[in-house]
Amino acid sequence: MAATWLKDTIFYEIYPQSFYDTNGDGIGDFNGIIEKLDYIKDLGCNALWINPCFDSPFKDAGYDVRDYKKVAPRYGNNNDLYRLFGEAHKRGIKVLLDLVPGHTSEEHEWFKMSQKAEENEYTNRFIWTDFCFEPAKGLNYVGGESERSATYALNFFKCQPALNYGFLNPTEPWQLPIDHPDVIATREALKDIMRFWLQHGCDGFRVDMAASLVKNDDEKKTGTSAVWLDVRKMLDEEFPEAAMVAEWSNPPLALRAGYDMDFYLNHPGNGYSTLMRDYFVNDKTKEDHSYFKKDGDGDINRFLDEYLTWYEDTKGVGYISMLTCNHDTNRPRFTLDPEELKLAYAFLFTMPGVPFLYYGDEIGMRYLELPTKEGGYYRTGSRTPMQWNKGKNLGFSEGCEDSLYLPVDGEADAPTVEDQEKDPDSLLNVVKGLLALRHREEDLQADAEFKVLVAEKGKPFIYKRGDLTIAINPSDKECSAALSVQGEVLYSLGSANLGSEITLAPQSFVVVR
């Protein structure tokens, strides 16, 4: 059963190094987040997901953790983060930290101990073969770097050795079963980390690569699910209101593995990708058939075919979380203009589940094509500094331009919070209106009924949330449906004619009671 507070929750994702710098070193910090909590509350978000902020060599932007119980000094110290929890809670804002359970940094003390030739309590904390020239079959691996005569498995990048949660069906002597005492010790160490942060005021976790724990797992992720169900049992007993959202993108599995929420992520060709990113990554020349591209000739059924299956399967089990973007995905402004974004967000924030807004998407920050930074590669362009005003470094930092974590948008028309706050028709003010509407209307919140009424290509997409009827036409052509829609208009973009038939002008949206 999902944490009760999620019913009326809208998350704001913060990439901490790029949000707001208060000490002039060019990198965002915890004090910067604290200073902007009132902005986040005014925006309408009542929960945060903060990307990795633990001590790290930052070869993968903090997803290579060196010490799970110590924050990275560039953001402040542990007490600064504890203060952030407290200041957020004063404003009714929950805080999720980013938990990386599948691997550590190669600089983590556990791994250094595991590399030693002599046996110790960390020998099996990571996955090692029996011999220096024996490959870790079926896994990426590294050899020749350790005192120990063995190769070790990786979970992702070379700097991320895989923690050992066992193998569902071991086939080699070095593969431990999931009930081996050393494997259980890894799981208990994970619980210990979670307890530490929850006891200090954290409200839960976004879990990185949540499906990656048990190796040689089956299609149903039986082994990995068993690990998470054991973690969930601990949470239910000790922290019943703690919430977890999975980076899994398979809600029928993730939600039954003890998660409150699972992200519907942008994987090329899946339903979510057809909404705003129906193009090759970093290829502007391919035709864009995204549903919210006004001239894209998109079809909402390409999304619904997958989404409805998951929605019906998981109703009452947990929530599907859709997002405007995240730190791994091209910003939607890459191909959508602000008017198109208004329609896309109107859809996302009136759908079931628990939505996530990526920092800067509320003002339509651009995707910038940049060289890689801290393992970001193409993703680096979605991690640029928040644009607060037209001041120095667009208000992100008083530091020198060459000290910035990443460059700010250098275009003269770079969107900023300050400019958009003054314009009642700005994307920012549309987002504020939509979020306020969601908070005000229980029928728009996480678990209210969802039913598709009209989803034919060339017609408005019309759906019910509880007693509300919502219609959207993202195209550049007027469209109608032979459906009687009448009542009080609670919110609209563009224009709609209601009656025995509903007609929507190009790029229009309406919520009717």
The tokens of 52 are what?
A: 């990795």
Q: What is the pLDDT of residues 382-436, one digit of tens each?
A: 999 999 999 999 999 999 999 999 999 999 999 999 999 999 999 999 999 999 9
Q: Is the pLDDT of residue 282 over 60?
A: no
Q: What is the pLDDT of residues 15-52, one digit of tens each?
A: 999 999 999 999 999 999 999 999 999 999 999 999 99
Provide the whole-model pTM: 0.97
- Tell me if 226 sits within 8 A of 184, measured CB to CB: no
Q: What is the pLDDT of residues 461-511, one digit of tens each?
A: 999 999 999 999 999 999 999 999 999 999 999 999 999 999 999 999 999
Provide the pLDDT for residue 286: 73
Provide the pLDDT for residue 29: 98
Provide the pLDDT for residue 1: 55
Provide the pLDDT for residue 303: 98
Q: Is the pLDDT of residue 80 over 90?
A: yes
Within 8 A by CB and 6+ apart from 176, the residues are 124, 164, 166, 167, 170, 182, 183
Where do the domains of the chain lie, and which CATH numbers do they carry?
A: 4-102+183-443 (3.20.20.80), 103-164 (3.90.400.10), 449-512 (2.60.40.1180)
Q: Catalogue the long-range contacts made by 153-156 (C-beta closer than 8 Å, 24 or more residues apart).
A: 153/126, 153/127, 153/128, 153/215, 154/103, 155/102, 155/103, 155/209, 155/212, 156/60, 156/63, 156/102, 156/103, 156/209
Q: Is the pLDDT of residue 285 over 60?
A: no
Provide the pLDDT for residue 284: 55
Provide the pLDDT for residue 362: 98
Amino acid, res. 344: A
Confidence of residue 89 (pLDDT cuts 50, 70, 90): very high
Least confident of 2-16, 129-143, 267-281, 430-444: 267-281
Within 8 A by CB and 6+ apart from 98, the residues are 49, 50, 51, 52, 53, 62, 63, 205, 206, 208
DSSP string, 136-164: -TTS-EE-SSSSSSS-EEBSSSTT-BBB-
Q: What is the pLDDT of residues 342-374, one digit of tens each?
A: 999 999 999 999 999 999 999 999 999 999 999
Q: What is the pLDDT of residues 289-334, one digit of tens each?
A: 999 999 999 999 999 999 999 999 999 999 999 999 999 999 999 9
- Tell me if 508 sits within 8 A of 494, measured CB to CB: yes
Q: Is the pLDDT of residue 287 over 80?
A: yes
The closest of 210, 124, 218 to 173, measured between CA atoms, is 124
Q: What is the pLDDT of residues 239-272, one digit of tens each?
A: 999 999 999 999 999 999 999 999 999 998 999 9
